[in-house]
Amino acid sequence: MTTSQPQLSVQPSRGATLSWSDGPAIRDAVAVVRYRVGDQPRTLRIPEPERSCEQDGLQARWRWELSGNGYRLWVELANIGDAPLFLETADVLTAPAPDLGAPIPTWRVYQNGWQSWSPTFARHLEGSIYAEPGTPEYRAAHQPHWEPDYDGLISSEWVSVLYTPASSRPVAGLLGGFITTKDQLAEIRLRADGSEWTARCHLDTALLAPGASLRTELLYLTAGPDPLKLLEEWAEMVGREMEARIPAAPPTGWCTWYYFYGENTADDVLDNLTAIATYRLPLDVILLDDGYQTAIGDWFSIHTDKFPDGMEPVAQAIRDAGHKLGIWTAPFGAAATSQLFAAHPDWVVRDEHSEPVLGWVHWGVPCYALDTTHPEVLAWLEETFGRMRREWGVTFFKIDFIFAAARPGRRHDPAATRAQALRRGVEAIRRAIGDDAFLLGCGAPLGPCIGLVDGMRIGTDVDPNWHPIFRYDLSAASTENALRNSITRAPFHNHLWANDPDCLLVRQRGPDLDLVLNEMRSLTAVIALLGGLTLNSDHLAIIRPGRLKYLRQALPPTGVSARPLDLFTHELPRLLLLPVERPWGRWWVAGVINWEDHTVETTVSLSDLGIPPGLYHVYNYWRRRYLGVTDDAVTIRRHQPHETVVLLFKPVSERPDLLTTTFHVCQGAVEVTDCAWDESVGTVRVTLSKAGRQFGEVLFSVPAPWEVAEVRVDGERHPWAVVAPGIISVGLTLDERSEVTLFARYRGEE
């Protein structure tokens, strides 16, 4: 469906109206700038696009530009007076809630959290899972624009999509999103009573000196019938505007954190390095997480009881084994107990009482926020990270808790916003590590990092438990929370960066892991389907070897994300779909999630998945079960608690064909490099290529009147098994590369 072009009209006394004839309407919109002259708060209202307004020497112009099926908006500000001005906020657009053709309680609102761990989902305005702990700690970490009248306000960082399935109009989706994100933190605000819908840039009382000027971030407004597509198109636009860094392939690796939790020694790292080699696991990066340093900020002060010979011997062993060394830091903090803070107390952000601003509390120790507008701090960052690159050979850098640089407070540069302060710090790190190193953001306000980081954690810590300890905290560490955010931010992958869903844990349930088999399989399936970074964090030196099959089945990442089809239907999306198309065919891999704590019956139709009408083979990946042929729907009779059923849909062919393989959750998307049918001799030749050594199956469909004559693996005759009429399975050990050939006879007219 093609959405109509937007129509803009202006009533000077009331503001601008933007509407789509078959969809939403925004009425009585204006721009508003809030600022201070000395201690006096002032407000400048701009009611008309392209009109210049002036007050107290502040000149403001509200700019509108037609772009595709929407408009780009921004506000230009200049101090043409003699006195300094202090800018607080600029509402690039504020209006009553838009008209979507249905009552507000029926709406879904895409609510994007501020930083990596902040809750994100398409929130229902009635019956929502949303809960707000309301503690000062929660507000500091996740609600950077909190204000006393926050009740009833839905704030989404940088982008929001409004959608209602109850609309009387063909087009029921409206997107408001900032497509530049360098200079200001920005939010889209909706009041549930309908009184306000605002796109606000935060200028953080930044100084605008006489003669100076600036521009707000660019806001994009558009409408469409498919809210998920609107979000995907927004991410694509932002990536272009911000020159996003998209790696050729998402990294794989092993991380120390989720088994050792900072208590690992050098020997533990070396033991896992040996296990990776022994099991031939295709893991590239060895990431040394938190715990090697004596204090946050003292990155070269190494715990001698854990690393008695320092970092260099471990780093050398990792490189000698053919791996990349990864290192964790929290670069924008200085622990109260650190040498860094003792030597440079003037390097931290200060509050209005000149006290150090708390960045976060790290294992009980206060960590103060570094002032990343201070030239000496930036020089120290460049020296620190440059030294890690030169002396340790680090090529993978995970920077954590970086929201600290965006804490409110007084900085060396009074003209800098919080977003600019954060970005300057990340820019310094990027300069130091070079363009060829991988930079992973974590605990990160998302917008200012685009174009600087290669990867981004987009959810909370995965944790060894399915549910968080406190169920009402959607930001708390848990597998459920981590997967929800990873799914609801799936549209960002390969547009803004490579998504990092956090670590994959496959070890058996025990004292250090409380995930049952279905929960572990769900973690594996979702990470594999989302196609981003894939890092394991088990103690591989002692793991039960049989558990490693799950890790192998998620490696390597496809690099392409499945789509959360019901993102705007369910706050916990249940349907992930990965379409796969290759020269030899196409198929679809669906992840069907049961978030409930009890068994349910789930029916999935082809129309639910957007798969074209036709006849399809269906294969249940985890159960290793061929489910037959459907032209309509599949019913999962016993969909167990927290289980993700992975289904393959492959078009039925009249000739012998490859059905699927079991070497990867995505079933042929990475390990099948070629599949050729030779009608003259009746052969299907499948070429498999995958790092490491792994047992699995290749399944073929052999419809009547065809029958199997023989199967060869790497030129040698090989047994096969009939798993259903017309379906055979060939089991083999794939050692880097194999060729499987099915020889078929036609038993038609003889």
| pLDDT in the model for residue 152 | 82
Phi/psi region, residue 132 (left: phi>0; alpha: psi -120 to 50; beta: rest), is beta
Q: Is the pLDDT of residue 261 over 90?
A: yes
3-state helix, strand, coil in the chain (%, to 5): 20, 40, 40
| pLDDT in the model for residue 174 | 98
Catalytic residue among 461, 463, 538, 657: 461
Phi/psi region, residue 696 (left: phi>0; alpha: psi -120 to 50; beta: rest), is beta
Cβ-Cβ contacts under 8 Å for 498 (sequence gap 6 or more): 246, 247, 250, 251, 454, 455, 456, 532, 533, 559
* Residues 316, 175 within the same domain: no
| pLDDT in the model for residue 148 | 82
Q: What is the pLDDT of residues 514-571, one digit of tens each?
A: 999 999 999 999 999 999 999 999 999 999 999 999 999 999 999 999 999 999 999 9
Which residue range(s) make up the domain with 699? Answer: 654-750
Long-range Cβ pairs for the range 343-346 (8 Å, 24+): 344/376, 344/380, 346/374
* Residues 520, 419 within the same domain: yes
The answer to whether the CB of 357 falls within 8 A of the CB of 368 is yes
Alpha-carbon span 24 to 685, nearest angstrom: 53
Phi/psi region, residue 656 (left: phi>0; alpha: psi -120 to 50; beta: rest), is beta
Last residue of a domain, one of 207, 241, 275: 241
The Cα angle at residue 681 between residues 675 and 684, in degrees rounded to 5: 20
Last residue of a domain, one of 517, 535, 560: 560
| pLDDT in the model for residue 465 | 95
* Residues 277, 212 within the same domain: no
Report the run of H or E that residue 426 belongs to, with start and end.
helix 418-433
48 part of a folded domain = yes
Between the alpha carbon of residue 707 and those of residues 589, 677, 748, the distances in Å are: 27, 15, 10
Alpha-carbon span 519 to 465, nearest angstrom: 9
Alpha-carbon span 269 to 258, nearest angstrom: 13
Cβ-Cβ contacts under 8 Å for 191 (sequence gap 6 or more): 97, 152, 153, 154, 197
Q: Is the pLDDT of residue 151 over 80?
A: no
CATH number, domain containing residue 672: 2.60.40
* Residues 268, 195 within the same domain: no
Q: How confident is the model at residue 747 (pLDDT cuts 50, 70, 90)?
A: confident
| pLDDT in the model for residue 93 | 98
Alpha-carbon span 275 to 267, nearest angstrom: 12
Mean pLDDT in the chain? 96
* Residues 539, 421 within the same domain: yes
Strands 585-593 and 575-582: antiparallel
Alpha-carbon span 588 to 649, nearest angstrom: 5
Paired strand residues for 197 = 95, 190
Q: Is the pLDDT of residue 484 over 60?
A: yes
Between the alpha carbon of residue 49 and those of residues 59, 62, 73, the distances in Å are: 14, 5, 9
| pLDDT in the model for residue 212 | 97
Q: Is the pLDDT of residue 256 over 70?
A: yes
CATH number, domain containing residue 496: 3.20.20.70
Report the run of H or E that residue 256 belongs to, with start and end.
none
Phi/psi region, residue 340 (left: phi>0; alpha: psi -120 to 50; beta: rest), is alpha
Last residue of a domain, one of 560, 584, 616: 560
Between the alpha carbon of residue 699 and those of residues 68, 617, 649, 746, the distances in Å are: 46, 12, 13, 19
461 has catalytic annotation = yes
Q: Is the pLDDT of residue 604 over 70?
A: yes
Alpha-carbon span 595 to 648, nearest angstrom: 20
The radius of gyration computed from the CA coordinates of the chain, to the nearest angstrom, equals 28
Structure tokens at 617: 């083979």
* Residues 465, 528 within the same domain: yes
* Residues 237, 263 within the same domain: no
Mean pLDDT of 85-108: 97
* Residues 433, 547 within the same domain: yes
371 part of a folded domain = yes
Mean pLDDT of 677-705: 97
Q: Is the pLDDT of residue 2 over 70?
A: no
| pLDDT in the model for residue 749 | 53
Number of residues in the chain = 750
Strands 58-67 and 197-208: unpaired
Mean pLDDT of 147-171: 92
Q: What are the start-end ranges of the H helices in 565-624?
A: 606-609
Count CA atoms within 13 Å of residue 519 on its CB side: 23
The answer to whether the CB of 452 falls within 8 A of the CB of 438 is no
Q: How confident is the model at residue 147 (pLDDT cuts 50, 70, 90)?
A: confident
489 part of a folded domain = yes
Structure tokens at 151: 């009740």
| pLDDT in the model for residue 633 | 97
* Residues 232, 130 within the same domain: yes
Structure tokens at 62: 């509200």
Cβ neighbour number for residue 356 with a 10 Å cutoff: 19
Cβ neighbour number for residue 346 with a 10 Å cutoff: 11
* Residues 290, 168 within the same domain: no
Alpha-carbon span 219 to 71, nearest angstrom: 8
* Residues 225, 352 within the same domain: no
Alpha-carbon span 406 to 359, nearest angstrom: 9
Structure tokens at 284: 């590239």
Phi/psi region, residue 164 (left: phi>0; alpha: psi -120 to 50; beta: rest), is beta
Q: What is the pLDDT of residues 725-736, one digit of tens each?
A: 999 999 999 999
Q: What is the pLDDT of residues 310-338, one digit of tens each?
A: 999 999 999 999 999 999 999 999 999 99
288 part of a folded domain = yes
| pLDDT in the model for residue 12 | 85
Mean pLDDT of 718-728: 97
Number of domains in the chain: 3
Alpha-carbon span 250 to 503, nearest angstrom: 13
Task: Give me the phi and psi of 235, to 5 degrees please.
Answer: -60, -40
Catalytic residue among 91, 204, 290, 400: 400
331 part of a folded domain = yes
Structure tokens at 642: 């927290």
Alpha-carbon span 97 to 571, nearest angstrom: 22
Most distant CA pair in the chain, distance? 99
290 has catalytic annotation = no
CATH number, domain containing residue 171: 2.70.98
Structure tokens at 547: 């558990």
631 part of a folded domain = no
* Residues 293, 322 within the same domain: yes
156 part of a folded domain = yes
The answer to whether the CB of 235 falls within 8 A of the CB of 492 is yes
The answer to whether the CB of 221 falls within 8 A of the CB of 178 is no
The answer to whether the peptide bond before residue 250 is cis (omega within 30 degrees of 0) is no
The answer to whether the CB of 614 falls within 8 A of the CB of 631 is yes
Structure tokens at 99: 């008209």
603 part of a folded domain = no
